[in-house]
Structure 1
Amino acid sequence: MDGPDVKAALRALSARLLPESDQLGVAMADVIRAEIPGYSADGLVTYDELVTSCAVNTRYILGNLAGDLSRSETPAATGTTRAEQGVPYADVLQAFRVGSRFIWEVLVERAEPEDRDLLLLAAADIWAVSDQLATDVTDAYRRATADRARRDSQMRAVLVGSLLDGDADAMSYVGETAGMLDLGRGSEYVVVSAESPSPGSEGVADVERVLRRVHVRSAWRLDHDHQEGVVALRRGFGVDQLVDVLDGIARARVGVSTVVARLDDIPEACRQARVACASVSPGASAVGRFGADPLGVLLAGSPDQARMLVDAVLGPVLALPAEDRDVVFATVRAWLAASGSTSAAARELHVHRNTVRYRIRRLEELTGRDLARPVDAAELYVALECVRILGLG
């Protein structure tokens, strides 16, 4: 058979089924509910809403195939509605795929026996209409999601979280997610992780507005214990300038990742920012950069091992009363910072140098280590860094 005969058979069959669109919509809705958990009885879309949209989509597909668009309603509104209802994009797309498959099966079943071979030849035309329908609905869904994101802070936080956490569905269209968040494309990015000074409070106050004032785009989310965001750097505003801004508004510990050039690298940058935040001394309002303090980052990234090291090296010192322990820690830190100069440490601590010597000897006796030996001094220094990062003294 030649092309025109195939198309004629398809048009005739579609025209014959078009008046049954409402009944077919009901059957399609039942199939979708059975196959997609998100459309189940306790889902976000009611049964009547689903039946209505299925009937509209059926009329659209059959009307296109029949060459009769007079009764075809545009189905793109379904994408807008589902976005407003909060139905996940993956569920929306799957529903349209299931619906298209359902219509194909109906066409095959209802075709006259002598026309079924012709129908197979027309499969490309049928699926082209279905694909266009899915594309239109997808575009409408994403436009609605973008509009909602701009006006809905909770939705915005969800989108930011999908970038930071590497959500599989969101990462498949990461560029669109960045567009919805107005982060731009082709920029360099860093992630910032700030500790909340109290549950649910901002660690970097009003940061998005502050950065917007200097024409820097960013997007943030606020959880119970952290405020985290993606910052799009621009020419003339790099990491150094960002750190200066954050220093001025920090209310707790803040960590900044290395610069990444691809949005796909945001989840790794988020991990870096969290480690950099943890490497800052607890209780401080300061900014730590990943890589600026390699030892601190290493220890903050392995808190369990850091605690084991503290117990092994400084366990007897931790057992002292808090006041005695803090004096010993402060003295040895001052001594190490002064490159082993007892006089310089005494001036820093406002005590006599013999007091410094006494406290150093006490530390050595308690730990069984000799600060004159480089290996012992290194162990004590690393253990003291662990104490600082873990907030033990």
Structure 2
Amino acid sequence: MTEVSDGPPAKPALAPEVAILARHLLPDSEVLGRRVADRIRAEVSFYRQASIVTRTELDQSCAENVRHILGRLAGEPVPGNDRARETGVRRSVQGVPNAAVLAAFRIGARMIWEFMVERADPALGDVLLRATADIWAVSDDLSATVTEAYQDAAAERSRRDRHVRATLVKGLFDGDRTVAGHHLEGAAALGFGRGAGFVVVSADCPEPGVETLPDVGRALERRGVTSVWQLEGHHQDGLVELRVGFDVQHLCERLAELAEARVGLSAVFAQVARTPAARHQSRLAAEAGAPGSRDLVRYDDQPLAVLLASAPQEARLLVDTCLGPVFELAPADRDPLLQTVLSWLTNAGSTTAVAGELFLHRNTVRYRLRRLEQLVGADLANPVDAAQVYLALKAARIHGLLPDPA
């Protein structure tokens, strides 16, 4: 019971003997308050430390509360609940657990009843027993005020902490030292230590502000991995600290389970100051995936696709120049043709592998290859022609012009 009390004084319908007894106890509020504080320190471990709530502060708070409750029971005018609200805010700011605050109130209410039993004539036992509910009602009113103020203060502090954290995260991604301070200090404030390097992750968000890696921060935290995330326009960006036992491959596997859109990863880097450049890499890598897909692309794993994504207009020109006649076909003719040729190129020119992958006869595969050669005037046996067609097919996929392989 570390707390005091607002509003007009309530005058419980008590037996006159209880009101008289409470009035007799009022002058001893200071002494009784110290006894309550001693009991709280004995029974609530948090208050025993006395490093946050000092002995003097707890003694004074308990004395105020004893005076308030006895005054209410005696029908005397008492201050409002403003002091109780101040106590609730102070305890929240001090970091006192709410459970400890409520435990203190329960101890205080119990001891006030004990004080009355000590002073009362034994013949009043039944009267005091009936008054127990009234004593608890006054104490509960006080504790409810403190709890409400405590929760309001905690919510406000949480809001401010989120704002500060979001500002630090944005400062790291933007490279703004005026916001994040020295990069190492900003990283430390966000919980990063000395791990095994960093990776920036960027996921497409078709709808601005809607996560496409839902709850990814918590998912990684459960693996002991520190990360920070922000939503910016059509992007969900994250800075992830790798650690021993959780490398970039483990990260890719976890992200693939969560992704609802295409995702890009930067190359691994050691200095957090490189975060802005790494975000550029990760966004390019994401754009190297097919629109609307759940592709996961690593910047340093698919350099050709990333190169094409970095020059979208030129990539589209490559598609039109190399594959223009094919895209004049109806989708029913065009899509199987493109899918077969891309499979053949990625399978190192193995007709057998393509036939098995696409469930086709080998002659069907050969027919489609010859047809594409005729349409675009290329010779797939020529490495230069094959490379141009392959790049054009990759560019077409980045622009969403190829059918889904599934």
Q: Same fold (TM over 0.5)?
A: yes
Aligned to 2:263: 254
**2:231 is aligned with 1:222:** yes
Q: Contact 1:175–1:185 at 8 Å: present in 2 too? A: no
Q: Report the RMSD for the aligned CA atoms in angstroms.
A: 2.4
Distance 1:349 1:188 in 2: 40
After superposition, where does 1:305-384 map in structure 2 within 5 Å? 305-384=314-393
Question: Match for 1:383: what amino acid?
Answer: A
Cα shift at 1:197: 5.0
In structure 2, what is the equivalent of residue 391 of structure 1? 400
- Give the Cα–Cα distance (whole angstroms) in 1 for the partners of residues 378 and 291 of structure 2: 27
1:228-285 C-alpha deviation (Å, 9 max, x unpaired): 1111222332222222221221111111112222221110111111112122233332
Deviations 1:91-136 (A, max 9, x none): xxxxxxxxxxxxxxxxxxxxxxxxxxxxxxxxxxxxxxxxxxxxxx
Matched, 1:195 2:198: no
Q: How many matched pairs?
A: 247
> What does residue 254 of structure 2 align with?
245
1:252 and 1:283 in contact (8 A); partners too: yes
Residues 199, 251 of structure 1: alpha-carbon distance in 2 compared, 3 angstrom cutoff: same
Larger radius of gyration: 2
Partners of 2:158 and 2:273 lie apart in 1 by 20
Deviation at 1:195, TM superposition (A): 1.3
Kindly indicate whether residue 288 of structure 2 is the aligned counterpart of residue 279 of structure 1. Answer: yes
The range that moved more, 182-191 or 250-259, is: 182-191
Residue 169 in 1 paired to residue 187 in 2? Answer: no
Structure 1 residue 291: deviation in Å? 0.7
Secondary structure in structure 2 of the residue aligned to 1:229: strand
Q: Distance in 2 between matches of 1:375 and 1:350?
A: 28
- Structure 1: how far apart are the matches of 2:159 and 2:356? 57
**How far did 1:152 drift?**
4.9
> Structure 1 residues 339, 231: CA separation in 2 closer, same or farther (over 3 Å shift)?
closer
The unaligned stretches of length 5 or more in structure 1 are 1-146
* 1:392 alignment partner AA: L
Say if 1:190 and 1:364 are closer, same or farther in 2 by CA, change over 3 A. same
Answer whether contact 2:229 2:239 (CA < 8 A) is retained. Answer: yes
Return the alpha-carbon distance in structure 1 between the equivalents of residues 172 and 356 of structure 2: 50
CA distance, structure 2, for counterparts of residue 187 and residue 371 of structure 1: 44
Once the two structures are superposed, the pairs formed by residues 1-393 of structure 1 within 5 Å of their partners are: 151-153=160-162, 155-167=164-176, 169-170=178-179, 172-184=181-193, 188-393=197-402
Q: CA deviation at 1:154?
A: 5.0
Distance 2:182 2:350 in 1: 58
Residues 302-311 or 204-213, more deviating? 302-311
| Equivalent position amino acid for 1:329 in 2 | L
Residue 119 of structure 2 aligns with which residue? none
CA distance in 2, matches of 1:158, 1:261: 22
- Structure 1 residues 331 and 255 mapped into 2: Cα distance closer, same or farther (>3 Å)? same
Higher deviation after alignment, 251-260 or 351-360: 351-360
Identity among equivalent positions (%) equals 50
- Please state whether the residue corresponding to 2:297 is helix, strand or coil: strand
Distance 1:239-1:360 versus aligned 2 partners, 3 A rule:
same
Q: What SS class does the counterpart of residue 324 from structure 2 fall into?
A: helix
- TM-score w.r.t. length of structure 2: 0.56
Q: Cα distance, 1:313 vs. partner?
A: 0.7
TM-superposed CA distance for 1:287, in Å, is 2.2
Distance 1:169 1:148 in 2: 23
3-state SS, counterpart of residue 222 of structure 1: strand
When residues 255 and 387 of structure 1 are mapped into structure 2, their CA distance, relative to the original with a 3 A threshold, is same
Question: How far apart are the structure 2 equivalents of 1:333 and 1:359?
Answer: 11
Deviations 1:119-169 (A, max 9, x none): xxxxxxxxxxxxxxxxxxxxxxxxxxxx96875545533432221122352
Q: 1:199 to 1:350 in 2, by over 3 A?
A: same
- 1:217 and 1:299 mapped to 2: Cα distance? 32
Q: Structure 2 CA distance, aligned partners of 1:355 and 1:154?
A: 60
* Residues 196, 202 of structure 1: 8 Å contact kept: yes
Moved more, 184-193 or 300-309: 184-193
Change (3 A) 1:343 1:233: closer
Contact 1:190/1:258, CA 8 A, preserved across alignment = yes
Q: CA deviation at 1:334?
A: 2.2
TM-score (norm. length: structure 1): 0.58
C-alpha separation between the residues in 2 aligned to 1:353 and 1:323? Answer: 20
